[in-house]
Amino acid sequence: MKTMDKTQTGFAPTTAPIPGEQPIVSVENLSVEFVTDHGWQRVLNDVSLEIKPGKVLGVVGESGSGKSVSSLAIMSLLPRTGARISSGSIVVDGIDMRTLGERELSRIRGERMAMIFQEPMTSLNPAFTIGEQIAETVRRHKKVGRKAAWQRAIEALDEVGIPSASDRVHRYPHEFSGGMRQRAMIAMAISCQPKVLIADEPTTALDVTIQDQILQLLRTMCEDHGLAMMFITHNMGVVADICDDVAVMYAGEIVERGEITELFDRPRHPYTEGLLRAVPHVYDRNELISIPGTTPAPWDMPQGCRFSPRCPYAVEACETAPLQLRRVEDRLTRCLRADELTLGRIK
Ligand X SMILES: Nc1ncnc2c1ncn2[C@@H]1O[C@H](COP(=O)(O)OP(=O)(O)OP(=O)(O)O)[C@@H](O)[C@H]1O
Q: Which residues contact 112 (CB under 8 A, 6 or more apart)?
A: 92, 93, 194, 195, 196
Pick from 278, 281, 282: nearest CA to 263: 282
Nearer to Mg ion, 60 or 323 (CB): 60
Q: How far is CA 12 from CA 189, 193, 201, 260, in A?
A: 16, 9, 29, 32
Question: Any contact of residue 61 with ligand X (CB under 6 A)?
Answer: yes
Question: Any contact of residue 34 with ligand X (CB under 6 A)?
Answer: yes
Confirm if 60 and 248 have CB atoms less than 8 A apart: yes
Question: Any contact of residue 294 with ligand X (CB under 6 A)?
Answer: no
Other beta carbons within 10 angstroms of residue 50's beta carbon come to 18
Pairwise CA distance, residues 205 & 219, whole Å: 18
- Region near ligand X per CB under 6 A, out of 63-71, 93-101, 165-173, 175-183: 63-71
Residue 112 interaction partner, one of ligand X, Mg ion, none, beta carbon < 5-8 Å per kind: none
Please report, for the chain, how many H helices and E strands are present, in that order. Answer: 10, 12
Nearer to ligand X, 68 or 89 (CB): 68
Nearer to Mg ion, 198 or 343 (CB): 198
Pairwise CA distance, residues 313 & 305, whole Å: 12
Which of 24, 25, 43, 134 lies at the binding interface for ligand X (CB under 6 A)? Answer: 43
Pick from 56, 54, 82, 83: nearest CA to 70: 83
Nearer to Mg ion, 68 or 213 (CB): 68
Pairwise CA distance, residues 72 & 80, whole Å: 12
Residue nearest Mg ion, Cβ-based: 68
Question: Any contact of residue 67 with ligand X (CB under 6 A)?
Answer: yes
Which of 26, 65, 193, 203 lies at the binding interface for ligand X (CB under 6 A)? Answer: 65
DSSP 335: -
Question: Any contact of residue 42 with ligand X (CB under 6 A)?
Answer: no
Residue 79 interaction partner, one of ligand X, Mg ion, none, beta carbon < 5-8 Å per kind: ligand X
Nearer to ligand X, 80 or 347 (CB): 80
Question: Any contact of residue 69 with ligand X (CB under 6 A)?
Answer: yes
Question: Any contact of residue 68 with ligand X (CB under 6 A)?
Answer: yes
Max intra-chain CA distance, the chain: 67
Pairwise CA distance, residues 129 & 170, whole Å: 6
Nearer to Mg ion, 157 or 199 (CB): 199
Angle, CA 226 vertex, CA 326 and CA 74 arms, to 5°:
50
The three-state secondary structure class of 284 is coil
Confirm if 310 and 251 have CB atoms less than 8 A apart: no
Where in 297-326 is the site for ligand X (CB under 6 A)? 298
Least distance CB 74 / Mg ion (angstroms):
13
Residue 69 interaction partner, one of Mg ion, ligand X, none, beta carbon < 5-8 Å per kind: ligand X
Which of 53, 66, 131, 274 lies at the binding interface for ligand X (CB under 6 A)? Answer: 66
Which of 41, 48, 68, 89 lies at the binding interface for Mg ion (CB under 5 A)? Answer: 68
Residue 36 interaction partner, one of ligand X, Mg ion, none, beta carbon < 5-8 Å per kind: ligand X
Q: Which helix (H) or strand (E) holds 231?
A: strand 228-233
State the residues that interact with Mg ion by CB under 5 A: 68
Footprint of ligand X (CB under 6 A): 34, 36, 43, 61, 63-69, 79, 234, 298
